[in-house]
């Protein structure tokens, strides 16, 4: 029996965030409550309860004056609930899913702009109750196309959806609403995680005899997921955990697909996978016990059938000589073909290719069938992607059917070949290449021809915070464990630890051989600390101090840099003995004065801010890092006793640039000349108006 887990299954980002917030609250101490179950999964709620997070249905259940806090669950709450919590003196941690928060913002905006609001969802669901609360409970909640058709015609209509609903149903409702408004705004607020789970479930349903959906019955997204699985036509079973798997549900099942709702924790998925492994081992043992006797019986029956069939095919010869000749010909044909038994690997020629199966001529007047699920180690939509008529391929015999046809597998032969190659690589200590396909508890899954396990502690030569960044990357590995007969867990365990360390040492040596002060190098921001940022220079890390980031003062490195940013840096200083590299970004940037030279010219009238007053005048900031001086003699067209009589600190003023000295980095400014020009302009306008009046 084959078991496959959907690519997208289990906790979504919103649920994982909510659980993390709750766990961190539990570690802070004090009493923390969740307003309603944090997520729709009793196992998760019970787990958090054991850590001190107590669910309550109403704020009134929390005693006034108690030093306590409340966690807003992932479904969100109306704004008045948050205000009530504040009035009761409760601490608040908001674990509302960010996607749900976005829906709140949308409906609040639509309400403010005068739109009638429709929410597609379940009126009793806490997420929907919260959404309607953010638009003053003035939204109409509908759950079907029929309900949509009953609405009155309005001028302006805004439509959103509960995040866990089905996309096709949502657009069917929207289509029904289109004739009911002169103007309609539609926001697809269905969570992409929900859509991805549904798509992944549809993908693994291909070739499956049974789909198991894991999730709490109260979970809306799990119910939607189960409905999508049933729509595929494959038998679907929705359960909470491994204890609910009926013993007889796997009877006659050769391929099981497993998926899980967004509120289902990893440990429940793991328990179910372990249980399926137990079923698979039991099934394998039973097959092996039957194999010997069944194979002997089949060989005997098939040999007899071939002889009888041959007699019927040649008919009744006209004489004894023709009969002997026919038997001799038949024996010659059969001499080259030995009836294959279960588990035998034979060669055959493809004679027909369909989307869901391939027919193969395996000799001896026998034809075999390879179902799509037995064609490849990878998931494909059609067998036509893999083979063509006339191709010669190796296949394994799975069983003989009553009609004499043979059930074959190409995948099992490919698996053996891959395992043989990986066994050689393991014994030789060779490096193998593979692509990371996903994350599991404790590490990553890697495709090296078949699925292998990469422990989190062997991904790099140090701790890795975010494993998901490796998904889709093709990397090199060493095999540290190999057991082709292992039934539970992974047959192949990989490591990058030594390879990464070796590569780092090589790059480090190369780095110190080629690095020189004054060079400009590309780098990537690896870590940000209060006093600067560590930059990966492709073999070694250097420190970019906060004082070398900009020409202006930088309060904190995170104000201008993010981890992962690609930047150019200047090699400021090297300490070969201590292996330290000091970097500068400021050296590669134009100084504020260089920019000012290009931007400002004598005679320009610009706006500035008074930043400092001295007895001889006022300093005015034109740009950050660029100040000019308005001398007291340039403040007004009359004698000024004190600069404070004319300007004040932080005042925005218009000034004229009367001189620029690049060498001494000085700019002379004048308020007086601006006033004089303004007065001259006013006089000129007045004279022009007088001239116009005289002409009239």
- CA dihedral angle for residue 38, residue 42, residue 46, residue 51, rounded to 10 degrees: -30
pLDDT at 647 over 60: yes
User: What is the DSSP pairing of strand 357-361 with strand 367-371?
Assistant: antiparallel
**Rounded Cα gap, residues 405 and 371, in angstroms:** 13
Given this model, what pLDDT does residue 480 score? Answer: 92
**Rounded Cα gap, residues 361 and 337, in angstroms:** 12
Mean pLDDT of 73-85: 90
Mean pLDDT of 536-540: 81
pLDDT digits (tens, 9 = 90+) for 142-167: 999 999 999 999 999 999 999 888 88
**Hey, is 513 helix, strand or coil?**
helix
Instruction: Check residues 439 and 274 and name the one with the higher pLDDT.
Output: 439
Percentages of the chain per state (helix, strand, coil), in multiples of 5: 40, 30, 30
Q: Which residue has the tokens 């709620």?
A: 45
pLDDT digits (tens, 9 = 90+) for 462-479: 888 889 999 999 999 999
Given this model, what pLDDT does residue 552 score? Answer: 80
Active site positions, annotated: 127
Mean pLDDT of the chain: 83
Mean pLDDT of 31-52: 87
258 C-beta neighbours (distance < 10 Å), count: 21
User: Which residues does 447 contact at the CB level (< 8 Å), separation at least 6?
Assistant: 434, 435, 436, 437
Percent of the chain with pLDDT over 70: 87
Percent of the chain with pLDDT over 90: 33
Would the CA dihedral through 649, 651, 653, 657 be positive or negative? positive
pLDDT at 628 over 90: yes
**Rounded Cα gap, residues 504 and 657, in angstroms:** 55
DSSP bridge partners of 520: 570
- Three-state secondary structure string covering 229-262: HHHCCCEEEEECCHHHCCHHHHCCCCEEEEEECC
Q: How confident is the model at residue 505 (pLDDT cuts 50, 70, 90)?
A: confident
**Residues shown for the chain:** 696
Given this model, what pLDDT does residue 1 score? Answer: 67
pLDDT at 107 over 90: yes
**Rounded Cα gap, residues 91 and 72, in angstroms:** 11
**Rounded Cα gap, residues 25 and 11, in angstroms:** 19
Mean pLDDT of 38-65: 85
Given this model, what pLDDT does residue 631 score? Answer: 94
Q: How confident is the model at residue 488 (pLDDT cuts 50, 70, 90)?
A: low
Instruction: Check residues 401 and 118 and name the one with the higher pLDDT.
Output: 118
Q: Let me know: does 26 contact 32? Beta carbons within 8 Å.
A: yes
Phi, psi of 237, rounded to the nearest 5 degrees: -125, 120
Structural domains of the chain ordered from first start? 10-97 (3.40.50.11270), 99-190 (3.40.1010.20), 415-501 (2.40.50.140), 515-588 (2.40.50.140), 592-681 (2.40.50.140)
Mean pLDDT of 51-58: 88
Instruction: Check residues 292 and 236 and name the one with the higher pLDDT.
Output: 236
pLDDT at 673 over 70: yes
Mean pLDDT of 581-589: 91
pLDDT at 308 over 60: no
**Rounded Cα gap, residues 622 and 636, in angstroms:** 20
Mean pLDDT of 48-57: 88
Q: Is the pTM of this model over 0.75?
A: no
Phi, psi of 192, rounded to the nearest 5 degrees: -65, -30
Lowest mean pLDDT among 287-301, 354-368, 551-565: 287-301
Instruction: Check residues 129 and 596 and name the one with the higher pLDDT.
Output: 129
pLDDT digits (tens, 9 = 90+) for 206-241: 888 889 999 888 888 888 888 889 988 889 999 988
Q: How confident is the model at residue 305 (pLDDT cuts 50, 70, 90)?
A: very low
**Rounded Cα gap, residues 574 and 512, in angstroms:** 10
615 C-beta neighbours (distance < 10 Å), count: 8
């Amino acid at each position: 029996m084959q078991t496959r887990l959907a690519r997208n299954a289990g906790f979504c980002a919103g649920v994982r965030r909510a659980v993390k917030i709750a766990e961190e609250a539990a570690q802070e101490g004090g009493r923390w409550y969740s307003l309603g179950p944090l997520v729709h999964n009793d196992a998760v709620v019970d787990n958090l309860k054991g850590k001190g997070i107590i669910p309550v249905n109403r704020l009134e259940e929390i005693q006034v004056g108690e030093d306590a806090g409340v966690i807003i669950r992932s479904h969100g709450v109306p704004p008045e609930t948050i205000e009530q919590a504040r009035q009761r003196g409760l601490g608040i941690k908001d674990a509302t899913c960010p996607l749900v928060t976005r829906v709140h913002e949308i409906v609040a905006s639509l309400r403010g702009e005068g739109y009638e609001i429709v929410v597609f969802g379940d009126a009793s669901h806490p997420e929907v109750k919260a959404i309607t609360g953010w638009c003053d409970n003035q939204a109409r909640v509908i759950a079907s196309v029929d309900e949509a058709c009953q609405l009155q015609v309005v001028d302006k209509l805004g439509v959103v959806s509960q995040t866990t609903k089905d996309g096709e149903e949502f657009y069917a409702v929207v289509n029904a609403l289109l004739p009911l408004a002169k103007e309609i705004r539609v926001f697809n607020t269905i969570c992409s995680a929900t859509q991805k789970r549904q798509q992944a479930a549809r993908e693994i349903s291909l070739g499956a005899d049974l789909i198991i959906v894991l999730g709490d019955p109260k979970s809306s997204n799990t119910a939607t997921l189960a409905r999508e699985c049933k729509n595929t036509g494959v038998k679907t079973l929705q359960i909470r955990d491994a204890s609910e798997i009926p013993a007889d549900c796997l009877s006659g099942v050769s391929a099981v697909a497993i998926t899980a709702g967004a509120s289902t924790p990893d440990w429940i998925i793991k328990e179910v996978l372990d249980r399926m492994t137990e079923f698979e081992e039991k099934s394998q043992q039973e097959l092996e016990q039957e194999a010997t006797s069944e194979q002997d019986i089949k060989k005997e029956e098939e040999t007899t059938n071939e002889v009888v069939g041959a007699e019927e095919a040649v008919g009744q010869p006209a004489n004894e000589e023709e009969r002997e000749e026919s038997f001799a010909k038949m024996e010659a044909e059969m001499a080259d073909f030995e009836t294959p038994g279960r588990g035998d690997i034979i060669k055959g020629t493809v004679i027909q290719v369909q989307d869901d199966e391939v027919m193969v001529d395996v000799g001896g007047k026998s034809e075999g069938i390879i179902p799509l699920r037995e064609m490849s180690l990878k998931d494909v939509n059609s067998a036509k992607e893999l083979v063509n008529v006339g191709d010669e391929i190796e296949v394994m015999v799975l069983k003989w059917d009553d009609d004499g046809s043979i059930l074959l597998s190409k995948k099992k032969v490919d698996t053996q070949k891959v395992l043989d190659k990986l066994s050689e690589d393991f014994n030789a200590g060779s490096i193998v290449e593979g692509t990371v396909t996903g994350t599991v508890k404790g590490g990553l899954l890697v495709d090296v021809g078949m699925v292998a396990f990469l422990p989190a502690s062997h991904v790099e030569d140090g701790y890795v915070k975010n494993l998901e960044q490796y998904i889709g990357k093709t990397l090199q590995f060493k095999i540290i464990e190999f057991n082709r007969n292992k039934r539970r867990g992974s047959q192949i365990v990989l490591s990058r630890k030594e390879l990464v360390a070796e590569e780092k040492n090589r790059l480090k040596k190369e780095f110190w051989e080629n690095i020189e002060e004054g060079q400009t190098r590309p780098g990537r921001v690896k870590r940000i600390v209060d006093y600067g940022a560590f930059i990966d220079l492709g073999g070694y890390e250097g420190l970019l101090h906060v004082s070398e980031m900009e020409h202006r003062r930088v309060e904190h490195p995170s104000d201008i840099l993010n981890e992962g940013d690609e930047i150019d840096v200047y090699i400021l200083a090297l300490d070969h003995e201590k292996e330290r590299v000091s970097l500068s970004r400021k050296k590669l940037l134009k100084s504020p004065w260089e920019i000012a030279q290009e931007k400002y010219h004598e005679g320009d009238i610009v706006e500035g801010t008074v930043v400092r007053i001295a007895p001889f005048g006022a300093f005015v900031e034109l740009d950050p890092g660029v100040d000019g001086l308005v001398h007291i003699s340039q403040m007004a067209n009359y004698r000024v006793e004190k600069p404070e009589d004319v300007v004040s600190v932080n005042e925005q003023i218009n000034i004229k640039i009367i001189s620029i000295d690049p060498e001494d980095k000085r700019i002379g400014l004048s308020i007086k000349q601006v006033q004089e020009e303004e007065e001259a302009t006013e006089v000129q306008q007045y004279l022009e108006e007088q001239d116009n009046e005289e002409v009239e």
